Amino acid sequence: MRKILLITTGGTIACPDTDESRSPENGAKRLLERIDVFPENVEITSTAMYCRDSTDMSPTEWTDIARFIRDRYAQFNGFVITHGTDTLGYAAAALSCLIQNSEKPVVLTGSMLPMEAEKSDAPRNLADALAFAADEQSRGVVVAFDGKIIDGRCAVKIDTQSVSAFESVNEREMPIGKTRFFDKLDARIAVIRLVPGVEPPIVSDNTRAVLILGFGTGGLPGHGGWEKWLETLINRGVYIIMSTQVLRGGSDLRLYEVGSRLSDKYPIIDAGKMTAEYAAMRAMFALAYSGNFDEFRRVFLEQ
């Protein structure tokens, strides 16, 4: 008998069937009642950690979820987390940092329509998540959505209406090794999306790292004070990460002069194939587990 722990946190999947002002209300019992087919030889235990719109979920809640799973890791063969879709990609990225090399499946899922809505995608998504969690061959932090199983580091929400709302972006090899749990994320980061012609933003004195979502493969404009802005932040001790606002392919600062001139002159970390969601959560993780730039770079690039 395989034992699965179902953790509910709210989201659309837990909302009543209404067209306006949806707010999560339904718990695990109501969700499970809508599932027609369950994996064989599985015992499901459920708990409600939160009942929130995912807009109100944050690194604090995701760290609590990771601790909750850590404390029960030996008791269960797999874990399923129902979560709102708006920040589900960030949640999966955060848990991929906090639960590394998991030898057991940790599956996040949700839905674009409430569980009780006509033609809802919720029953299938939850059933798929439970089936993956029950499979003896399954491992790692993943997202189950619209028939797909997506590495938690690669899950990106691409649509606000379609039930096929998530895709795997810049797929990576699943890491292996001994399961390791962590319990800290440091949210003192800023994420800046470049817009042509817009001046550099003011960055709070509390900010420890800045993730820049640049154009194409990465770089900063050679005008408008951007390089001076960058130099000021670095002199303040702020760590700089360069990524891209383009969905696929990743960043590569060495490809064009607008990026290479910066990486030759300044200590800038290239996020490479990381999604924006994973790069942001990875920056929070690296801040929490480093004391200087070299340590930060090493931790950030580890997975």
> Taking Cα atoms as reference points, which of 91, 100, 103, 115 lies closest to residue 35?
115
Q: 19 and 155 share a domain?
A: yes
Q: 162 and 60 share a domain?
A: yes
pLDDT at 100: 98
Output the domain CATH number for residue 294. Answer: 3.40.50.40
pLDDT at 176: 84
> Taking Cα atoms as reference points, which of 116, 69, 97 lies closest to residue 302?
97
Output the domain CATH number for residue 68. Answer: 3.40.50.1170
Summarised one tens digit per residue, pLDDT across range 260-294 is 999 999 999 999 999 999 999 999 999 999 999 99
Burial class (CB in 10 A: 0-12, 13-18, 19+), 225: exposed
Q: 164 and 263 share a domain?
A: no
Low-confidence stretches of the chain (pLDDT < 70) are 18-23, 25-26
| Distance in angstroms (rounded) separating the CA atoms of residues 299 and 290 | 7
- Identify the domain containing residue 20 by its residue range: 2-181
Q: Which residues are catalytic?
A: 12, 85-86, 157, 256
Q: 215 and 172 share a domain?
A: no
pLDDT at 237: 98
Q: Residue 15: what are its φ and ψ, rounded to 5°? A: -85, 150
Which of 181, 211, 227 lies at the terminal end of a domain, its last residue?
A: 181
pLDDT at 23: 62
Residues 6+ apart with CB under 8 A from 214: 194, 220, 242, 243, 244, 245, 251, 259
| Distance in angstroms (rounded) separating the CA atoms of residues 211 and 90 | 15
Residue 88: helix, strand or coil by DSSP? helix
Which of 144, 164, 181 lies at the terminal end of a domain, its last residue?
A: 181
pLDDT at 25: 62
> Taking Cα atoms as reference points, which of 46, 66, 62 lies closest to residue 54?
62
Q: 209 and 272 share a domain?
A: yes
Question: Within 13 A of 134's CA, how many CA atoms are on the CB side?
Answer: 18
User: What's the number of domains the chain is made of?
Assistant: 2
